[in-house]
Amino acid sequence: MTFKTKPLPILYSLRNCPYAMRARIAIFKAKQTVMLRDIVLSNKPKEMITASPKATVPVLVLTNGTVLEESIDVMLWALNETDPDDLLQKQNARDLSEMLQLINTFDHDFKACLEQYKCAKRYRESNIVECREACEQYLKILERRLNSQLFLMSNTESLFDIALVPFIRQFARVERQWYLQSPYPKVRQWLNNYLQSPMFTKVMAKYPLWLDNHEVVLFGGVSKSVSQ
């Protein structure tokens, strides 16, 4: 008996890009299956550029031809398909609206401060403390939330948590020794719980670059047949 294979969405990803990372986390959490195509920015596949001329990751090409070019859109697609952990907290529409607003604030305001902080460390600039303190204003928000609950929105995990993990991870790596002694123990515990989890190990697994051999790599739920 011959089984007809079913096409799968294609995800173009860069292993250490925080935007691609959180897209992969959402796909993994949603137990969706995609064909993963790992890339490097210095050699982008023409197929990816054709699908998304902006040529930044993540890019998700759905089976109906729809192209999602923003990480939050990839996350929402995955979790709207299946959300076994109720990360969208759909029982309260206000929660989702608040989460999206918070994610937008961190994506723009915190990310801008984080980039300045990373540059200050990389180029040994004299304003590194000021750059760190600008980032800390956002860490304080998270610490206050985690002082009264287990996760950033409530006592259950949410979209907000998995959207922020890659960026707080970046912050923690800029001045590692300072971070380990910083006045944010709840944030450290929250982040460590993710970084030390089997989920994160799988999300961060290293795969061959797609352009090297066009190997089919299934990522996520990995419960479906594959068709190129």
Tokens coding 76: 């929402």
Number of domains in the chain: 2
Question: Could you tell me if 76 and 28 lie in one domain?
Answer: yes
pLDDT confidence of residue 196: 98
CATH code of the domain containing 120: 1.20.1050.10
pLDDT in tens, 155-203: 999 999 999 999 999 999 999 999 999 999 999 999 999 999 999 999 9
Q: Which of 26, 22, 24, 19 is nearest to 56 (CA)?
A: 19
Question: Could you tell me if 153 and 191 lie in one domain?
Answer: yes
Question: Could you tell me if 147 and 183 lie in one domain?
Answer: yes
pLDDT confidence of residue 148: 97
pTM value is 0.94
Is 3 within a domain?
A: no
Specify the pairing of strand 33-38 against strand 218-220: antiparallel
The label of the residue with tokens 């409530």 reads 154
Specify the pairing of strand 67-68 against strand 59-61: antiparallel
Is 4 within a domain?
A: no
- Structural domain harbouring 73: 10-86+201-220
Is 226 within a domain?
A: no
Residue 31 dihedral angles phi and psi, to the nearest 5°:
60, 30
What sign has the CA pseudo-torsion 75, 111, 52, 224? negative
Which residues, in sequence order, are bridge partners of residue 33?
Answer: 220
Question: Could you tell me if 109 and 41 lie in one domain?
Answer: no
Which residues, in sequence order, are bridge partners of residue 219?
Answer: 34
Is 189 within a domain?
A: yes
C-alpha 33/C-alpha 78 separation (Å) is 9
Q: Output the tens digit of pLDDT for each of the chain's 228 residues.
A: 443 467 999 999 999 999 999 999 999 999 999 999 999 999 999 999 999 999 999 999 999 999 999 999 999 999 999 999 999 998 877 789 999 999 999 999 999 999 999 999 999 999 999 999 999 999 999 999 999 999 999 999 999 999 999 999 999 999 999 999 999 999 999 999 999 999 999 999 999 999 999 999 999 987 443 444
Q: Write the DSSP assignment of 177-188 as a string of letters.
A: HHHHTSS-HHHH
CATH code of the domain containing 59: 3.40.30.10
C-alpha 22/C-alpha 77 separation (Å) is 13
The label of the residue with tokens 């959300």 reads 83
Coil, helix or strand at residue 63: coil
**Quick one: angle between helices 159-174 and 185-195, nearest 10?**
100
Question: Could you tell me if 27 and 101 lie in one domain?
Answer: no
